[in-house]
Structure 1
């Protein structure tokens, strides 16, 4: 009987992990397909200013707009997830996210409806960002709270590869789009990847409907705490996060720089910078991204397992250090124009640097908060940081590089500065990999010892 329960538990954790993987794939698919289209088609379709540099800046500006809505969504859905449950909240975020992406593919061009085209684009981008703000935190937490304690890092790292599975899908779909004549790409080809979001939406909703709430959440809503001695007087989780866990929020802000900066720089900014300023064919860059994305899956599994054995902080610090050291060399490899060297740059920065951070981030962030406000804390912290550390990256990098792209050392310095902030934040953060997720109370109180980071 015991072995049967164990087998059922194993099947369920695989099911939860798969469901979260699909949701995370759709989340990143939504944002990356928008980022790719921002670099390749939107300047012409929605922002025909007559000046390529200004049109590109305007297009990347709308990319950043989605990140403005993410903290609002993170706080809204995080609070809802802590009070009404992870499952129903995740179904809602997935539905809004997928539908808004699908509708972007239906917006007429500026030449058809004028100013309403960019207005509708911005509105849907805001809705998309609002839903995405609640998706990541919930999908990672439902896996974390369902996994065995000694394998939380591994299981939560798997769905966080959604960004790379999305990148593979986008590369494949846009690869087909690139086979079209240039005029067809701009007129209607770019719409195909947006419309395909409906397929992942349907699969994701189907899987999430069969999930159930985690035992950690069930206990959290029924167990009295110092702040809420009775269920009727339960405190507001979002307000409690800002009142009692503000240090954790500040840490997350710093921890995100070395993860978000290189990711959006290499997968969004370079797609515009490479062809426009260096003459590198966009097909070469998409293939480099594709190879890096395939390697991300074993890298995440490895770093997730490592974090379960030696802790979150050493692995996170390693990733940030690699990003710091590789910022200038990456641009040297990119400027060479040699495909093999460009791929090497992507592997070093993203597979060795970013992936070490990204694999650990779900467990690390969620473990900083107690069970009764974990969703609120992880989602709000990550998405508030998204504005500064992620959404503005393509815009800032384009502005720093200048119209001719000659100021690229400023872009590399920008990445190094962000990585340095992350390394300092890791040093200040508590170790969490042995934390009991069922415990309530302020984060960091007696939650493991601080380990030495070499």
Structure 2
């Protein structure tokens, strides 16, 4: 027997014509801040995986294998993201977006704090990397449920002509979280190496519990979306949302995943693999991290610009522009990283993340407009999180493997990277433009 979700009567019956109202400002702030905190936690791990974990949890391996193993634990979190999207998406489509967002944030905060308290391999042996991987999987499940709900809170409250921009606040939270995480680790790299690797790297993880507490207070003050309220008053579908997405909307799901992979190959390449590669090539790690932080700030700006443009010209034209530009810049970015200088890395990461933001800005609305309200949380989350797994999750380890296979040359890596953008461009062309579609009538 199915149950009908309770209606949140504190929410206005329908979105207004402006985002500049007290109600919408609260919704968008919650979407942005909550997403930023969750991604601070999730991407903090990526930075630590690039420069810390190989020396704390994989000390018995050589430098190359230690880096590969460290990136492998990073990938574990990305593998868990689609599972989190399916799990939290199910409940988000059944009981509401807001309740699921609160749960995902609590889960993320606990996992991140425990990573900061985890003893090293030297202290507890093989149990240390096993526990590290387990906590990383929990992080992946949590962030898998975060983005879809945060994005839909903005999109489903917003007026039709501004929903691309409203949805992008969840997307802007990701680079903002990356900025905070990178600056936090960069600050502690100023410590002597002995202190940094013994306790300094742990402090940013422990700060998570404070940030999550603030985020929960903000998130609890927002109300459920009007579209979900309307859905909850109707007869509920007996199908499981995950099953319905796979059986009724497989084409949309596959195209969304392929299109999104382009965004995440950039993230995996320039913000994880390139950090490790540049530091090993001789670039100062503090300078590299500061450059990464500056690039994350730039990505917030280009994400906003991309979303604004998508509300005016459509999701597809803006995303295609970003994908084509990224394909043309792939080899120049790799050459800059290979310079082994902070300046070269800085130009590479800023350019890469600027292009990522241009694609990323419309991507929230792009995926949401592929699915009807009753399965939108699940469908959008599966597309987005699966793209993150194939793009960012495996990219650092694959990149390291391709460089080894090519005898140290970056040419093979560059060719594979360009092919990922070509595939994304084809997928975007094959989807329907969603800017003018009525969300309530999709499906």
CA contact (8 A) 2:172 2:304 kept: no
1:268 aligned onto 2:272 = yes
Deviations 1:60-119 (A, max 9, x none): 100001112111111011010000000101000111011101110001011111111111
Partner of 1:357: 359
Root mean square deviation of aligned Cα: 1.8
- Superposition pairs of residues 101-140 of structure 1, within 5 angstroms: 101-140=112-151
The 1-side partners of 2:33 and 2:109 are apart by: 12
Which of 274, 291, 296 pairs up with 2:294?
A: 291
CA contact (8 A) 1:30 1:101 kept: yes
1:189 aligned onto 2:189 = no
SS in 2 for 1:179: coil
C-alpha distance 180-365 of structure 1, shift in aligned 2 (>3 A): same
CA contact (8 A) 2:402 2:413 kept: yes
Deviations 1:121-143 (A, max 9, x none): 11111111111111111110111
1:240 aligned onto 2:244 = yes
Partner of 2:108: 97
Deviations 1:158-197 (A, max 9, x none): 3311222122212321222111111111111110111111
1:16 Cα offset (Å): 1.2
1:18 aligned onto 2:21 = no
Partner of 2:421: 419
Partner of 1:73: 84
- Superposition pairs of residues 43-442 of structure 1, within 5 angstroms: 43-223=54-234, 230-231=235-236, 234-276=238-280, 278-351=281-354, 353-402=355-404, 406-441=408-443
SS in 2 for 1:435: coil
1:386 Cα offset (Å): 2.5
The 1-side partners of 2:379 and 2:231 are apart by: 15
Please report the TM-score for the alignment, with normalisation by the length of structure 1.
0.90
Which segments of structure 1 move beyond 3 Å, counting only runs of 4 or more? 5-9, 336-342
Partner of 1:27: 38
Partner of 1:227: none
CA contact (8 A) 2:151 2:167 kept: yes
The 1-side partners of 2:405 and 2:418 are apart by: 22
The 2-side partners of 1:242 and 1:107 are apart by: 38
Deviations 1:341-392 (A, max 9, x none): 43332232221x2111111111110111011110011112222232222201
1:440 Cα offset (Å): 4.6
1:329 Cα offset (Å): 0.7
**Greater alpha carbon shift after TM alignment, 295-304 vs 63-72:** 295-304
CA contact (8 A) 2:241 2:374 kept: yes
C-alpha distance 43-326 of structure 1, shift in aligned 2 (>3 A): same
Give 5+ residue unaligned stretches, structure 2. Answer: 1-15
**Greater alpha carbon shift after TM alignment, 334-343 vs 149-158:** 334-343
Count of residues in Structure 1 that have an aligned counterpart in Structure 2: 428
Please report the TM-score for the alignment, with normalisation by the length of structure 2.
0.93
CA contact (8 A) 1:221 1:372 kept: no
**Greater alpha carbon shift after TM alignment, 177-186 vs 293-302:** 293-302
1:209 Cα offset (Å): 0.9
The 1-side partners of 2:189 and 2:104 are apart by: 31
The 1-side partners of 2:186 and 2:335 are apart by: 26
The 1-side partners of 2:46 and 2:263 are apart by: 17
